Structure 1
Amino acid sequence: MLLKALSEVKVKVEIKPVVDNLVFRLHYRYTYIFFLAATLLTTLYDAIGDQIDCLTDVDSDSFNDVVNSYCFIMGTFTVDRLHGLQVGQQVPHPGVGPPEVQDSITYHTYYQWVPFVLFVQGVMFYVPHWLWKISEGGLFKHIIQDLSIRDYLGENLGKYFKKDERFRALAKYLKRTMNGHRTWAYKFFFCELLNLGVVVATLFFTDWFLGGEFLTYGTKVFAVAGLDPENRTDPMSYVFPRMAKCTFKSFGPSGTIQVRDMMCLIATNIINEKIYLFLWVWLVLLTALTSLWMVYRLLTILLPPFRKQLLKLRVDRSVWDLLEEVLRGASLSDWLLLYSLGKNMERSVFSEFIIFLHHELTLLPVPRDPKEKLKQQLLGDDFIHPEEPKEEERSQYVREYTF
């Protein structure tokens, strides 16, 4: 039955024209999903049993339920001094034992907030993408029309053979709106910077949430991974104790106050320790990648020659000269728009478009051959628009000049 059900699954792949990049998508697509999945895992108590289960000397289910609820809400504690002792001989569990007056005690109350914190953090990773979608308003999808790669997948090639009309319309639009997309570009750069701010804030907030243990959590776990389990202090048991102590006070039969010092099994920490180890690795890598990407973005903003070389990688070598003339009067926002077009178009198609854009910007018709282009430049304005070439002649020139 399972194989039959899997055979019916159809995967739909859709390549949408987008301005963002892989690093941007790592935030709003993958990291967002990871946090939501972690939120779901921390609420699956049926898979691990009760959230907390405390050992009492009272044979009463109602009393035990009260104790469990009390210790989960008010929190448990471990003794810091007892974490380095040998388990099974000096202490029953890491950090569990009778505290002395001078001992420092760590209280654990965060685990009841873990699902809420993970959910909010996951939403925060989606916020930059949401802001970009709201501010961009589908502008790029409208600009690129049907020239993206996805429109040439499949059997419908009619759009491809009619692309010259779209080339002319797009070239006219870019000429008319030259230097007019600054706000559009600045909003995108701000959202990229916001991604870095979100991941760094998540690291430090999680470190504060876990009592200052998260930033070094992964390195400590990997450092003891190869040691003997009987002679090591497990960092996961320190940050996410599976066994902890809880003090419960109640009235006895005669009205005196009875203090019960009991051990509690915190079953939810069995999942929490794995979740946060994975998140530590992912967030550290994501922070490094996002930081490197922001260095790259800074170079594209400050170095116009660098921008030019990046755009050359998107076109055929035969149109490099035309591309340099196009970029001569282009601003940073114009470059971002052209680069985004090149990223979403097939290489040869984008190279053809650069030819159309060059002649639109220079007010010259598409020449019939490269020699005629030189003749136009020598004769000057008197030769401009002598006769509009026919469509088949234009297409023949584009093919010869491009390839």
Structure 2
Amino acid sequence: DDDWVDRLNHKASVLAFFMFAILVSTKQYVGDQIHCWVPGHFTGNYEEYTNKICWVSNTYHKTFDEDIPKPENPKKLITYYQWVPLFLMIQALMFYVPCLLWRSMNGKAGVQIKQIVQAGQDMHDNENKEKKLRYMVRQMDRYLGHYRDHTHGCLSRVKHFVNKRCMILCGRKYGNYLIALYIVTKTMYAVNSVGQLFLLDVFLG
């Protein structure tokens, strides 16, 4: 019930960010987090303590030909590196949210999308072609018949009038629930892909 673009977002991207998060976390919490330049007489626990202080106190970029900045004229701090694993996990979650929305909501349409798509893919089998076709037609007929907009009763007429005036013409009773949900899901994929570029720019400062 998805195409290669959807799978690129909710499978490949999520897997990539998850693997990067594991690699960075392993480096931070299993290996040495940071190596600081400490005085020569600092050994053992002193050096380890200094490295931990450097890790939680942020850093700044300085080349070897620059002087160490004075406290009254500090340089711009690099504050993001401690949060990289968490940020990568958040990115992975954001890429999966549209898929989660689609899979949790399309079942409420009253039609089994996954089974219909699978039946369509199996149409090349001549033995079950007629059976698959009847199944697909029966599912679509049941879907369209069940959610046809019957305006019997005063309350139904009032709701239909209000929805029409407010341009609320999307929903199961209008027969376009899946189309609207599909468009929303695709829009979320696009907005997420573009929005994460801006989010990454803010995160990196």
Identity %: 26
In structure 2, the CA distance between the partners of 1:73 and 1:101, relative to structure 1 (3 Å rule), is closer
Aligned pairs for 1:4-403 (under 5 A) are: 18=1, 20-45=2-27, 50-57=32-39, 58-78=41-61, 91=65, 97-99=67-69, 103=73, 105-137=75-107, 139-144=112-117, 146-149=119-122, 160-178=126-144, 180=147, 181-211=175-205
Deviation of 1:182 (Å):
1.0
Deviation at 1:204, TM superposition (A): 1.1
Aligned residues: 172
Contact kept, 8 Å, 1:76 with 1:107, in 2: the verdict is yes
Superposed CA deviations along residues 51-110 of structure 1, whole A, max 9, x for unmatched, are 11112223331111111101100111235xx6xxxx6xxx1xxxx532257856111221
Contact 2:15/2:92, CA 8 A, preserved across alignment: yes
**What's the secondary structure of 2:19's corresponding residue?**
helix
Rg: which structure is higher?
1
CA distance in 2, matches of 1:101, 1:175: 74
Structure in which a larger fraction of residues adopt strand? 1
Alignment-mate amino acid for residue 143 of structure 1: I
Residue identity opposite 1:33 in structure 2: L
For residue 61 of structure 2, give the secondary structure of its aligned residue in structure 1: strand
Partners of 1:183 and 1:144 in 2: CA distance: 17
Amino acid at match of 1:67: T
Higher relative contact order (CA 8 A, sep 6+): 2
Relative distance call for 1:55 and 1:136 in structure 2 (3 A) is same
Q: Which amino acid aligns with 2:134?
A: R
TM-score by length of 2: 0.72
**Does the CA-based 8 Å contact 2:60-2:76 persist in structure 1?**
yes
* 1:374-396 deviations in Å (ceiling 9; x for gaps): xxxxxxxxxxxxxxxxxxxxxxx
Structure 1: how far apart are the matches of 2:128 and 2:69? 81
| Compared CA separation, residues 116 and 101, structure 1 to 2 (3 A) | closer
**How far did 1:177 drift?**
3.7
For residues 184 and 32 of structure 2, what CA distance do their matches in structure 1 show?
45
Q: Residue deviations 1:348-395, cap 9 Å, x none?
A: xxxxxxxxxxxxxxxxxxxxxxxxxxxxxxxxxxxxxxxxxxxxxxxx
Shift of 1:38: 1.0
Tell me if the contact between 1:75 and 1:107 (Cα under 8 Å) persists in the aligned partners: yes
* Residues 101 and 168 of structure 1, relative CA distance in 2, 3 Å threshold: closer
Deviation at 1:45, TM superposition (A): 2.3
Ranges in structure 1 where 5+ consecutive residues have no aligned partner:
1-17, 212-403
- In the TM superposition, structure 1's runs of 4+ consecutive aligned residues that sit over 6 Å from their partners are none
Give me the TM-score of the superposition, normalised by structure 1.
0.38
Deviation track 1:229-255 (CA, whole Å, cap 9, x = no partner) reads xxxxxxxxxxxxxxxxxxxxxxxxxxx
Q: 1:246-288 CA distances to partner (integer Å, 9 max, x unpaired)?
A: xxxxxxxxxxxxxxxxxxxxxxxxxxxxxxxxxxxxxxxxxxx
